Every structure is written in C-alpha cells, then in structure tokens.
Amino acid sequence: MDDNHLARLPEELLQEILTYLDDPSLLNLALTCQWSKRKALSLLWRHVELVDCRSEHPDMPTGLIHDDHDDSPIIKKLIVLAL
C-alpha cells in the first residue's frame, strides 16, 4: 500500500498547497525523497534568476580584460547538481 497520501492528490491541488510553503520548508521537503524533490524543485527555482554579466578584470597582468562569454548554462547545471 502506498503511504504517500500527498501523491494521491490531483497535481494542480498539490502544487497549490506547496505554494504556501516558504523556501526553507520546500528545501526540507525536497530532501525527503525523490518524489518530493520532483514536486518541490520547480517551486524552489521560481525566484532564482541567474545573470551572467560582462565583467572587467583590471588586476590581470595583461591589463584590462573583458569576460564576454556566457557562463549561465554551466552555473544552472552546477546548482542543480548541488541540490
């Protein structure tokens, strides 16, 4: 018998209920099992914004160096792996 009573709820109702949890509570839920991780992860990411800005590095030996490449895809992957 399935002891996960939350899994019996319709997906829309479950997501509505989870929106009332704050981020630390969602993180705790996500850490309990794979099912709850799948349910809570999208809500944990709702306020995350990764921005890769152009930066200048005047302390480099060759002078002023500009960082023009986009690191956002790798940053997103690293954060997912960290959870």
DSSP 37: H
List of residues 6+ apart from 52 with CB closer than 8 A: 70, 71, 72, 75
- Cα angle value 8/1/13 (rounded, 5°): 5
pLDDT range class, residue 1, cuts 50, 70, 90: very low
DSSP 20: T
Pick from 14-23, 30-39, 52-61: least confident: 52-61
Is the pLDDT at 63 greater than 80, yes or no? no
The secondary structure of 44-77 as a DSSP string is HGGG-------EEETTSTTS-EEE-S--HHHHHH
pTM of the entire predicted model: 0.55
Domains and CATH numbers, the chain: 1-48 (1.20.1280.50), 50-83 (no CATH)
The 10s digit of each residue's pLDDT in 5-20 is 888 999 999 999 999 9
Strand 65-67 relative to strand 55-57, pairing: antiparallel
